[in-house]
Amino acid sequence: MHSQQLVLNKGNWETFGDDLLAPQLILAMGDYGKITDRKNFDFLREKYPNANLVTASTSADIRKSQVLENSIVATALKFDSTPIKFSLKNIGEAESAFELGKGLFKELEAEDLVHILVISDGILVNGSELVGGLDYYNDKKIIITGGLAGDGAKFEHTCVGLNTYPEDGNVVAIGFYGKHIKIGHGCQGGWDPFGPERVITKSDRNILYQLDNQSALSLYKKYLGPLSDELPGSALLFPLNLKSNEQEEGIVRTILAVDENQQSMTFAGNMPQGGRVQLMKAGFEKLVDGAAGAATESIESFLLDKPDFALLISCVGRKLVMNQRIDDEVEVVQVILGNDVCLAGFYSNGEISPLVSNRKCELHNQSMTITTYKEI
């Protein structure tokens, strides 16, 4: 497996690594305005005319140990012995995100399928339902990872594309096949619950109306105080820890939008009635420790080998909390994986990864997720 990276930063393209002969996959992630600029798409298409070009908008981009803003990071990957296959669907043409996920999996399903990487719109697609659909036929527990596109902390528009200009509502899935590819994964947060645990008494999928029979939005604003004037962006600093009867281990959920008229909050994933939620907060050190833990988990199955490539997908909320020190969580990952490992990634509206304790695919928020790849 071989890689080359192109970075658009401050108006100029810079190349890292030797030119590749016929790469099969280009992962191009970047600022919404940059990634939807046709001249940037055309530049990448001309540079890699025969490769499959996957594009997505982000809240920031990762290359090696750096976090870049208002940029594009394009990573070209050439596989020596690993077939890959692609599927693209739009939520506007699907009955639901759940059915869309089922359709993506069925299109990629094969006896030798070992991994699916998913890049999805981060506003129009219900991430929980998408993940549920992807996992519906996944009897073999194929490793499914990925993330939801971002747009800073605006929560207005995100876009994804496959070999065409990126559009709102798209979801791309990439299947990796055969015995010559090894996949690792890790996912950790670093957030701590605080305050009382409250029961979800009224919700509709990913829309939350009531906690303990009280307006969920009013309760949340009470905790935020003056920061409530900056919703939904300020909600990234105080996500919710969600537990359900089906899953006692907590999953972090982040607010995407608020509706003052309905007194409701829309989340990146479902908020089931009867579930229990608690506010969360995090400090700088805990978030860096979470990133380090995810990196360690992602190479546990590699033994003494190092991965060829690592894809990091971290939450935009982590970026807001860490602010000027955001590079630190990426630097610790580079140190653990090794300085010669090619790193790329982005800051997202949601992260997709199994928990290490089981291989069921889950939607996460406020987490650092890492997928590692090595050809053998």
Q: What contacts 250, CB < 8 A, 6 or more positions away?
A: 193, 241, 242, 243, 278
- What's the pLDDT tens digit per position in 93-145? 999 999 999 999 999 999 999 999 999 999 999 999 999 999 999 998 899 99
The 3-state secondary structure of the chain reads CEEEEEEEECCEEEEECCCCCCCCEEEEEECHHHHCCHHHHHHHHHHCCCCEEEEEECCCEEECCEEECCCEEEEEEECCCCCEEEEEEEHHHCCCHHHHHHHHHHHHCCCCEEEEEEEECCCCCCHHHHHHHHHHCCCCCCEEEEEECCECECCCCCCEEECCCCECCEEEEEEEECCCEEEEEEEECCCEEEEEEEEEEEEECCEEEEECCEEHHHHHHHHHHHHHHHCCHHHHHCCEEEECCCCCCCEEECEEEEECCCCEEEECCCCCCCCEEEEEECCHHHHHHHHHHHHHHHCHHHCCCCCCEEEEEEEHHHHHHHHHHCHHHHHHHHHHHCCCCEEEEEEECEEEEECCCCCCEEEECCCEEEEEEEEC
Beta bridge partners of 353: 362
pLDDT band at 34 (very low <50, low <70, confident <90, very high): very high
Sort residue 323 into left (φ over 0), alpha (ψ -120 to 50) or beta: left
Could you give the CA distance from residue 287 to residue 306 in angstroms, rounded to a whole number?
24
Query: Tokens representing 262?
Result: 């309905």
Average pLDDT rounded to a whole number, residues 218-228: 90
Q: What's the Cα-to-Cα distance from 22 to each of 32, 83, 295, rounded to whole Å? A: 27, 14, 30
Share of the chain above pLDDT 90, in %: 77
Q: What average pLDDT is seen over the chain?
A: 93
Residue with tokens 């653990």: 336
Could you give the CA distance from residue 166 to residue 61 in angstroms, rounded to a whole number?
17
Alpha-carbon Rg of the chain, whole angstroms?
19
Could you give the CA distance from residue 121 to residue 149 in angstroms, rounded to a whole number?
5
Neighbours of 26 (CB within 10 A): 22
Q: What is the chain's length?
A: 376
Beta bridge partners of 251: 242
What pLDDT, on a 0 to 100 scale, did the predictor assign at position 358?
Answer: 60
pLDDT above 90 for 233:
no
Query: Tokens representing 346?
Result: 């982005």
Identity of residue 242: L
Q: What's the Cα-to-Cα distance from 6 to each of 3, 78, 150, 310, rounded to whole Å? A: 10, 15, 20, 16
pLDDT above 90 for 348:
yes
pLDDT band at 42 (very low <50, low <70, confident <90, very high): very high
What pLDDT, on a 0 to 100 scale, did the predictor assign at position 101?
Answer: 98
pLDDT band at 356 (very low <50, low <70, confident <90, very high): low
Neighbours of 213 (CB within 10 A): 9
pLDDT band at 247 (very low <50, low <70, confident <90, very high): low
User: Contact 242/277 with Cβ under 8 angstroms?
Assistant: yes
Q: Residues 204, 90, 181, 288: what is their CA dihedral angle, to the nearest 10 degrees? A: -50
What pLDDT, on a 0 to 100 scale, did the predictor assign at position 357?
Answer: 55
What pLDDT, on a 0 to 100 scale, did the predictor assign at position 142?
Answer: 94
Note the maximum CA span of the chain: 61
Lowest mean pLDDT among 81-90, 158-167, 348-357: 348-357
pLDDT band at 35 (very low <50, low <70, confident <90, very high): very high
pLDDT above 80 for 25:
yes
pLDDT above 70 for 167:
yes
Neighbours of 255 (CB within 10 A): 25
